[in-house]
Amino acid sequence: MHDDRSLVEARLRRVLDERIRPAVYPESVPLDVAVWHAPGEPVPVAEGLAAEPGPIRVGDRWGAPWGTSWFRVTGTVPEEWAGRTVEALLDLGFDENMPGFQCEGLVYRPDGTPVKGLNPRNQWVRIGAPVAGGEEVRLHVEAASNPVILDYHPFRPTALGDKDTAGHEPQYTLTRMDLAVLDETVWNLVIDLEVLGELMAELPADAPRRWEILRAVEAALDAIDLQDVNGTARSARSRLTGVLSVPAAPSAHRISAVGHAHIDSAWLWPLRETVRKVARTTANMTALAEDEPDFVFAMSQAQQWAWVKEHRPEVWARVKKAVADGRFVPAGGMWVESDTNMPGSEAMARQFVHGKRFFLDEFGIENDEAWLPDTFGFAAGLPQIIRAAGTTRLLTQKISWSQTNKFPHHTFWWEGIDGTRIFTHFPPVDTYNCSMKGSELAHASRNFKDKGRARHSLAPTGWGDGGGGTTREMVAKAARVRDLEGSPAVVWETPREFFEKAEADYPDPPVWVGELYLELHRATLTSQAQTKQGNRRSEHLLREAELWAATAAVRTGFPYPYEELDRIWKTVLLHQFHDILPGSSIAWVHREARATYRRIAAELDGIIDAAQRALAGEGTRSLVFNAAPHTRHGVPAGAAGEAEPSAEVTVAERPEGGYVLANGPLRVEIDARGLVVSAYDTAAGRETVAPGTAANLLQLHPDFPNMWDAWDVDAFYRNAVTDLTSVDELTAGEDGRSVRIVRSFGKSAVSQVLSLRPGERRLSIDTEVDWHETEKFLKLAFPLDLHAERYASETQFGHFHRPTHTNTSWEAAKFEACNHRFVHLEEPGWGVAIVNDSTYGHDVTRAVRTDGDRGTTTTVRVSLLRAPRFPDPETDQGVHRFRHALVPGAAIADAVREGWRINLPERRMTGGQEVAPLVTVDNDAVVVTAVKLADDGSGDVVVRFHEAHGGRARATLTAGFEIAGVSVTDLLERPLDGQDPERDGCRIPVRLRPFELVTLRLAPL
């Protein structure tokens, strides 16, 4: 037989496009349209419905960037359509390739009842099935003219990312406003042919099944009269019944489809627009669940559920009903789908506390899974946090984006720094926007790396990023491949149902130890520096506010600010979303974030000040409040007292130019260029700076990645570098313990103050950059005379080691990595720490010196600033301030301690009495991360702590108040069965494994 396969396949494509799809709506009549453009920000629904609209016609332009237009569409169903299915087709000017990324709408009835959302892949509104004929139609559409930021030519700078710069030019053309008859037979024929055509294309060319489908499709096409598609569609469908009814092979891969609409809480749109995106999507998904009995939809991010509850109560009522029916599933148990690299220990814990508590309070549902499909890699401390929240599973997708190495598993145990393991699934479909295409399903089956040992995977199904969710077409396709030869078998299931099957299917999966590093988007550790600083500062202010407010509440009856702290925590957690904290959102988002962080800081400073004044009382004693978890200058952790006096610092001119700073433990030489050429540890008799090099070296690189400008830094950026060694000013500070350096470069300037404090083995580096570069990357380098094959960087509740070498492609790919408060390197008996107050990105490299002592130079470089132009063309322009410190002779304990100290500076005030700590721990390896009152308002004191040095630890925690009882709890402050600790009065002995996290709840007498 002659091979006519290509001929039939080409015929199928053309007939579908030009004849069958256009026949889905064979008859239509235009609707009357009027519009009212809201003058500013979105208005309440009642106001939009009541506004008097003006004229507009199909073909007219509408919608200034970020505007809101209220369309009123009216019409009458023709009498002759009686008994037929009728829909309104409302095309606002959609590009079907951009669901979630352009204009959208929410349809209302005249009484304000929401109907469904409109987007490029969902333009219909059901009027009746069937209609009686003669019905009056009146609908209102709240339409958002969100501009297209990520266009067909992506990553080009645009002013559209902020309403202040976007202008007023209309963005869209009103394209169609019709009533139309839906021919459901033709619609189903389209789905039949799409499913078979897509399946056929994925089968081997010599497979009998492919040819059987080809001949059935050919017969269906022969049965269609191209001049009467509607009259012959039923006959065509009958020719496909046979091939659509052949069951799947017993060995077919099994896919759990989960309805999904990954909605970025902010990205190429501001937070206020996400509120409306969520309303549109949830309205659509509840409507779809009512129409499709097998469909199940899962939505994560408790913040988004809370937005629906607050802003769209009518939609919320439908959501609650769908949840009760088991059709709409809360997923993930986090406040938002946050970044997990940069949030601090407590913040990461609170993501689960606030997320899980919301779903428990609203629905009585406890989430078993963390749901993070789009997060940019996962910190090694996360498994313990997930488990401590009462969650046992994790779903992610983004690591499929890694550029260099392909992750070796799809279902596996992920083991964190303390040994905790989480059952993890990484869907082989390689998208969190699955649309049930045959190519996607076939890819999932072929790509699944656990074949032969497991057979289940998950497919998050629906349009996402900007929302939209699952469509009726996706549901129809899934129904046809539920049990179809040649295709994986697809069934709609909840995340819990999938994980239960996967765990039973694969009881002993492989183990991956350590971070899940994404080999992409590394620059998100640096972009939008002020957003990152706002986050770090907020985290530590919240620690202080809880500590001092709890201490004052127990000691003085100070009113603990439960509601204020709850609200502020949720705001901080929201801004840790994986496109806000990473710096990858539009200018509007980051402008608002900076303002929000300023408000948070002012409010928290007020809470801290009020609590400290309540504790200190009236008087003239000079008190130092120490919120760090270690004693400082004689003041215990969590206490206030008078600081111990200490030795002096000297500043002397250096004969070769520059200055020498000395304080006893350290002697630091700063040359005439303002660079540190020596940092001598006098106790160890050891030099820190590698021979022939200089530390505190600012380095400037070109930075123009191949794509994803705010997200990516590509390895080739290192090929060119400019060392900033010219100095405009070099002077000794008037305080007698510092040196000031001023430089200028390009259009920018930098000033630094290098200082020592009396008796401390730490060189402080305060840097101010007035940054006006474009597509540049600024680093601060510390070449160290240190031989180390690995280094430690702090992560949540501990630290994680990475190699300094690049033996393998996995190691080479980690050329930019994340740390929290410190990076630490050591040889046996001597090490160096570099600590910071607000930076995350860094790189570590090593070289062997070819002359002199042939020793090893290990260079740590801190990432300070970038200047990408997409999506925010003015990224990081302006003044920035950073604090770093070089700590020679540091053990890991010193790195931990100094990292806390630089982030929690002492606070001073006058008062009448010293303040004893509310709790104390007698081992510095055990670090208290939170002291607070229990969230339930009981007055119980909650203390969270962990082993921070990476070894086993014994300690005694002592309460500074009488206690009636103590219990070990999970992160949600619920007692864990059988784990009540022993105690001797107010003394509680504890034993901890390396990096073990513990939460205690102390009930006061």
* Catalytic residue positions, numbered: 374
Classify burial at 495, counting beta carbons within 10 Å of its beta carbon; exposed 0-12, middle 13-18, buried 19 or more: buried
- Quote helix, strand, coil % in the chain, to nearest 5: 30, 30, 40
Q: How many CB atoms sit inside 10 A of residue 113's CB?
A: 13
Integer angstrom CA distances of residue 657 from 448, 652, 670, 928: 64, 10, 8, 45
- CB contact at 8 A, 206 and 214: no
Residue showing tokens 């603990």:
560
Cβ-proximal residues to 955 (8 Å cutoff; 6+ apart), any chain: 921, 922, 923, 925, 926, 989, 990, 992
Sign of CA dihedral 266, 270, 272, 278: negative
Annotate 922-960 with DSSP letters as a single string: S-TTEEEEEEEE-TTSS--EEEEEEE-SSS-EEEEEEES
Interstrand relation of 856-866 and 776-785 (parallel, antiparallel or unpaired):
antiparallel
Residue showing tokens 């099957």:
501
Interstrand relation of 172-173 and 61-62 (parallel, antiparallel or unpaired):
antiparallel
Going through 187-275 in order, the beta strands assigned E by DSSP cover 254-259
Structure tokens at 255: 């896919």
DSSP label at residue 463: B
Coil, strand, or helix at residue 493? coil
Interstrand relation of 421-425 and 124-128 (parallel, antiparallel or unpaired):
unpaired
Residue 980 CA to residue 967 CA, distance in Å, equals: 5
Residue 459 CA to residue 369 CA, distance in Å, equals: 15
- CB contact at 8 A, 760 and 665: yes
Residue 338 CA to residue 350 CA, distance in Å, equals: 11
Residue 817 CA to residue 645 CA, distance in Å, equals: 39
- CB contact at 8 A, 499 and 368: yes
Structure tokens at 626: 């120490």
Coil, strand, or helix at residue 634? coil
Residue 741 CA to residue 722 CA, distance in Å, equals: 18
Q: Which amino acid is at 437?
A: K
Structure tokens at 655: 């004969």
Rg (alpha carbons) of the chain, rounded to whole number: 31
- CB contact at 8 A, 956 and 922: yes
Residue 59 CA to residue 170 CA, distance in Å, equals: 12
Q: Which amino acid is at 662?
A: A
Going through 225-286 in order, the beta strands assigned E by DSSP cover 254-259
Beta bridge partners of 975: 969
Question: Of 27, 120, 12, 22, whose CA–CA distance to 471 is shortest?
Answer: 120
Does residue 871 have a cis peptide bond before it, meaning omega lies within 30 degrees of 0?
yes
Cβ-proximal residues to 910 (8 Å cutoff; 6+ apart), any chain: 616, 619, 620, 621, 622, 623
Sign of CA dihedral 901, 907, 910, 915: negative
Structure tokens at 852: 């002199």
Question: Of 199, 149, 248, whose CA–CA distance to 579 is shortest?
Answer: 149
